[in-house]
Amino acid sequence: MRRSLPFRNFLDQTLRVLHIYVGVLVAPFIFIAALTGTLYGLTPQIEKTLYETYLVAKYQSHQVPYLLSEQVQRAQKFVPSSAHIIAVRPAKDANTTTRVLYMDMNNPSQTTAIFINPYNLTMQGKLSVYGTSGILPMRTFLDHLHRDLLLGQYGRIYSELAASWLGIFAITGLIQWLRIKRKNVGEHIRRRSIHWHSLIGICVLPMLLFFSVTGLTWSNWAGGNIAKFRHWINSDTPSLNTQLGTHQGVQPDEHAEHRMGMMMHHNSEMKLKNLTDFDEILNIARASGLNAPALQIKPSYDEKRAWVIEELQHQWPIKIDALAVDIKQQKIIDRIYFKDFPLSAKLTRWGVDLHIGILFGWINQLFLVLAGLALLMIIFFAYRAWFSYMKPWQTLYQCNHQLMHWWRRASYMQLSVCIVILIMLYFIVPVWAISIVLLNIFVAIHWLFLKDKKQS
């Protein structure tokens, strides 16, 4: 007859396995994510220094900037004949350059930015940037390093694994701390390491949970599930309807940019006919209340689609309003305002901007870097405590022993509840659920191997 564990003992063993033994195996992924995320948080200052010659436009107080159309015309001289301008970012203040982004149809996976001095039309340089977002090379490198270790789509498994387990470790760590904070946890070096591990963890617990939640929101598979859920409850992030000649209420084309890219690829002769349209849409935007310093204009090469102008201010107060403009008639056909976003869309936007350290400027950066360093220290002290009482090869054996004991002693009801919860979580955080299944399969194989070895 199967002897069941009392619920409290069952819960204690579950928490112990999740926080300690699984933590030893998964913590390296979290360490890498924390390290690369901390480096990413420092990129604004690094970029200002590294790309100063591209970004800074020196001027005299008496100088007046050229019209935006003239700046774009100057940039066109440096655009290859097989390329098309896909976005223009006017200088956001008196000391910055105008950025003109183009895509070469011979290499459509790469976007290039030309930096034009608005006062003398000097081309101050060219840089490969990331997509229409225009992220500069330094930040692009650290972004991909943090997100996928430069391994592409499948490399994102690592960051999603780290984000999904970080929240679990934070919660189970808090419960473990509440249970054992008055107990003597062992020899001096282990006691001191666990003390610092727990103390730092409790101090930054809200940030750890925040990193976990926002990391999952931005992840590939879990993020996709979250996006589907938001769609089901009608909380999608609004998007502009750029289709000309449609009546009110027509759903916007979510693949408009992709279609534009394909169209340009098949028609390399398309060119912007009237560059003064850039001046006109800029005037329309300012007159319509788009007053953020940073703007981005996306021209249309299709007569059936509108031009788009959008705000790019992600620092508080956020300004990301956008207009779709029929450039021929100089008429706004659609507009979106951040204040009208559903709450879930606002929370997602705030969360992402806070996660990457731009929402509150340097204060946000400071907290981001300190929290990242704190997480690195938490993992350091955890491993220091682990090495003080257990050899690395013993960890697998202990994890095997704990899990097999847990499986054998748990009641059928307890196991059924765990399996049902695991199946439900698969549809929310699939990478986490799969990692649990793989861990159990590996432990079962290892247990059978040890059993056969003992019998022989």
Instruction: Tell me which residue of 150, 127, 116, 161 sits closest to 26, measured CA to CA.
Output: 161
> What pLDDT score was predicted for residue 455?
61
> What pLDDT score was predicted for residue 12?
74
> What pLDDT score was predicted for residue 408?
74
CA dist 229 → 167, 222, 349, 438 (Å)? 20, 11, 16, 27
Residue at 157 is within a domain? yes
Write the DSSP assignment of 351-368 as a string of letters. HHHHHTT-TTHHHHHHHH
> What pLDDT score was predicted for residue 391?
65
> What pLDDT score was predicted for residue 386?
82
Instruction: Tell me which residue of 306, 278, 276, 309 sits closest to 291, measured CA to CA.
Output: 309
Cβ atoms of 316 and 360 within 8 Å: the answer is yes
Which structural domain range is residue 186 located in?
A: 7-43+145-224+359-455
Residue at 395 is within a domain? yes
Residue at 187 is within a domain? yes
Bridge partners of residue 370, in order along the sequence: none
Residue at 2 is within a domain? no
- Bond from prior residue into 293 cis (ω within 30 degrees of 0): no
> What pLDDT score was predicted for residue 124?
95
Residue at 352 is within a domain? no
* pTM for the model: 0.85
The number of folded domains in the chain is 1
Q: Which residues of the chain have pLDDT under 70?
A: 1-9, 131-132, 181-187, 246-270, 390-397, 446-447, 450-456
Cβ atoms of 398 and 390 within 8 Å: the answer is yes
Residue at 79 is within a domain? no
Any residues with CB less than 8 A from the CB of 118 and at least 6 apart, and which? 57, 65, 66, 71, 90, 91, 97, 98
At position 26, the amino acid (one-letter code) is: V
> What pLDDT score was predicted for residue 187?
56
Residue with tokens 């102008």: 309
Residue at 438 is within a domain? yes
Residue at 367 is within a domain? yes
**How far is the C-alpha of 185 from the C-alpha of 12, rounded, in Å?**
16
